[in-house]
Amino acid sequence: MELSVVNTRALSGLSAPPVRVETHLSNGLPAFNIVGMPATAVRESKDRVRSALLNSHFEFPDRRITVNLAPADLPKEGGRFDLPIALGILLASGQLEAQDVGRHEFLGELALDASLQPAPGVVCAALAAAAAKRTLVVPAASAGVAARVPDVRVIAAPDLLTLCAHLNGAERLDPVDPAPPYACPNYPDLRDVVGQPGARRALEVAAAGGHNLIFVGPPGTGKTLLASRLPGILPAPDREETLVAMALRDFDDSEPVDQALRRPFRNPHHSASPAALIGGGSHPRPGEVSLAHGGVLFLDELPEFSRQCLEVLREPLESGEVTLSRARHKLRYPATFQLVAAMNPCPCGYLGDTERPCRCSPEQVQRYRGRLSGPLLDRIDLHVDVPRLAPGLLLENQGHTGEDTAAVRSRVLQARDVQLARQSCLNARLDPKQLLAVSALDDEGRNLLEQAATRMHLSGRAIHRTLRVARTIADMAGSEAVGAVALGEALAYRR
């Protein structure tokens, strides 16, 4: 047999399109060519495959080898194609006889000693293999992650020789058992926050309706502490969110994939580039907004971020996804996150502080606040002041004076259940037509909102976002109608 076909998967965003590795041996001067739009890492697999075959005591064919990665117009990147290329050569040269190769998909990078190394995108490949009803063969180091995907049959191979023995029927490898469920993750407790009843209330409203939030206050008043408690009062991710989180974490080496049951909390430094936030690069990867999908993106010292970084957040905040367009392809990553930001009221941080005077001129304050554009601030539903606390309150009862995370989470879950039963989405994701249908105002509420919008110069987007927050506050109070009290509290959160 001088022609073989082995199935594998490429990686394009969070999808894993199928790839056929077609290997042909022909007479002529010895050569090894890979075609089908391979990237540099794929072309370099020739040397890795040759060394792996020789170190596994196979013969490397002294013939003209042509490997086609089909479809030819799909970009191929990374070392994930090493294993299928090596198997294709063995099948085409007759050194491997396997009748059921077509029912398998192979994925893995080969070391020079023929051991299999993990490659990114194994979760996406496992999802696609499960849908195609094929067995996925992966390196042993990736088997635990792949086995988390429901309804997938995974075989873990430590090296090329062991896998070939399995395919020949000489030494069978048992499928990987489904992974046991993860333990419930622990979050920092909201009870650690001392005082700040207004900020705690705003945090609960944000969690209940999925709203964006900004804290404004002097340094050291607990803005970062409050933001870090938001993931703990959110409900646990469902099955679909968990799978997407696993796939996204597979791109990021800083967090283990088994943290998929935790609501993400991403805290990029203000020196981050736009590509780091939104995603991209020469080899496009998801950015912080996608890695925060289903959780919280916290931007501390918001005005210190570059203007370009802040402006690229506007579209994901509205659409819930990121589209990276390149000359050859277009990638989409999910980015449904809650933005929580923190900033000082002025450059020195003490404008309005009762303890320390502000030393900034009005021009400096205006220039500092002018770094934030109106369209971005319009997309932030809750603007909350976090004032300085008295030293005595900080030391009272060892700092534990408020409700704990479990009590607040129970109320958040109740409010979210009401929203999902009524409209199948959170209030923050209501479109204008749905919003007007579920948030009908009486004459008193309509007059209040019209007067406030005129006096506060609210845009149309700000009016709709205020109405969404009022709907959430009414749901938390168990009210079917949006009354003047809920509307007044929602207006108080607009700066």
pLDDT by residue (tens digit) across 335-344?
999 999 999 9
Residue ranges making up the domain that contains 131: 3-168
pLDDT at 256: 64
* Residue where a domain terminates, one of 168, 190, 225: 168
> What average pLDDT does the chain have?
89
Count of the separate structural domains present in the chain: 2
For the stretch 357-394, pLDDT in tens is 899 999 999 999 999 988 899 899 999 999 888 777 77
Does residue 182 sit within a domain?
no
* Residue where a domain terminates, one of 359, 374, 403: 403
Are 279 and 315 in contact, with CB atoms under 8 Å apart?
A: no
Are 149 and 126 in contact, with CB atoms under 8 Å apart?
A: yes
For the stretch 44-66, pLDDT in tens is 999 999 999 999 999 999 999 99
Q: Count Cα atoms within 13 angstroms, Cβ side, for 403.
A: 14
More confident residue, 188 or 21: 21
Nearest-angstrom CA–CA distance, 93 and 171? 21
- State the average pLDDT over residues 293-322: 92
Same-domain status, 71 and 164: yes
Nearest-angstrom CA–CA distance, 174 and 295? 37
Is residue 397 pLDDT above 70, yes or no?
Answer: no
**What is the percent of the chain where pLDDT is above 70?**
95
- State the pLDDT confidence band at 400, using cuts at 50, 70 and 90: low
Same-domain status, 111 and 244: no
Nearest-angstrom CA–CA distance, 466 and 468? 5
Does residue 189 sit within a domain?
no
Same-domain status, 294 and 394: yes
- State the pLDDT confidence band at 297, using cuts at 50, 70 and 90: very high
- State the average pLDDT over residues 461-486: 91
Are 287 and 279 in contact, with CB atoms under 8 Å apart?
A: yes
Is residue 253 pLDDT above 80, yes or no?
Answer: no
Structure-token pair, residue 418: 């009401």
**For residue 223, which of 232, 214, 236, 235 has the smallest C-alpha distance?**
214
* Bridge partner list, 12: 15
